[in-house]
Amino acid sequence: MPATHPSAVVESDSIGAGASIGEFAVIRAGAAIGDGVTVHPHVVIEPGVEIGAGTEVLPGAYLGRRPRAVGAIIREPTYRETVQIGGGCSIGVNAVIYYDVEIGEDTLVGDGASIREETKIGEGCVVGRYVAVDRDVQIGDGTKINFACSLVSKARLGKGVFLAQHVTTTNDNALGRQGWNDEQVAGPTIEDEAMIGSNATLLPGVTIGRAAVVGAGSVVTKDVAAGVTVVGVPARPL
């Protein structure tokens, strides 16, 4: 039987064996909590969220946030009202995971991280504290994204990629002046095993080749070939 604190609001009838639900947590009808999942106090889990066995959701996390377009937002959000989180994951304090997100097994999502809709994250990944992942981002297995990085819409990261802290990605050379256009907006592509140093900036549409290295503080304006190390502003081969 699950251990549920009396102050928790549990509307779902899909709570796995050995699950633990803390004080003032809210689990809506239609959510599915796997065996041995730990839901800490003040967590909110919306309908359509599925959490695999043994995952821990730390205090204040919000799973299943609906994207909302207000007057300042040009693009109308599109999304499915589902979230899939694999087994053995850890979801950090005050992390926010929007609807239409998939997270593979054994992945860590750090405190205060934000993951937007239409995003897929592989197995064994790290999405560090206060990382911002925009909509429609793909992250391959075993990729590590460190503190306070920013991944823009349409960024593509392969397997085993490493991003040091404060890496910034961009996807619009017009800086928003021409509105949102799916055909023109292009995030960077970072291929398998590439490494990006701290405070580096990747401009729209660049490709960082397999096992390439971008030095700390570099500004990448052009594609980087596989295995090449680049440094500087603009970044050039070392």
Over the stretch 69-104, which tens digit does the pLDDT of each residue have?
666 666 678 899 999 999 999 999 999 999 999 999
CA distances from 205 to 18, 37, 110, 153, 187 (A): 46, 39, 27, 11, 5
Q: What is the pLDDT of residue 58?
A: 98
pTM of the model: 0.94
Q: What is the pLDDT of residue 161?
A: 98
Q: What is the pLDDT of residue 175?
A: 66
Which residues, in sequence order, are CB contacts of 1 under 8 Å at separation 6+?
17
Match domain 156-238 to its CATH number in 3.40.50.300, 2.40.10.170, 2.160.10.10, 3.40.50.720. Answer: 2.160.10.10
Q: What is the pLDDT of residue 1?
A: 55
Question: Where is pLDDT greater, at 182 or 4?
Answer: 4
Give the integer Cα–Cα distance in Å for 201 and 140. Answer: 20
Mean pLDDT of the chain: 94
Q: What is the pLDDT of residue 78?
A: 84
Average pLDDT over residues 108-127: 98
Give the integer Cα–Cα distance in Å for 129 and 96. Answer: 12
Q: Which of 70, 63, 144 lies closest to 107, judged by CA? A: 144
Give the integer Cα–Cα distance in Å for 69 and 159. Answer: 32
Looking at the chain, the domain(s) classified CATH 2.160.10.10 span 1-142, 156-238
pLDDT tens digits, one per residue of 150-197: 999 999 999 999 999 999 999 887 666 776 666 677 899 999 999 999
Is residue 233 scored above 60 in pLDDT?
yes
Q: Which of 17, 87, 3, 81 lies closest to 45, judged by CA? A: 81
Match domain 1-142 to its CATH number in 2.160.10.10, 3.40.50.720, 3.30.70.270, 2.30.110.10. Answer: 2.160.10.10
Average pLDDT over residues 196-218: 98
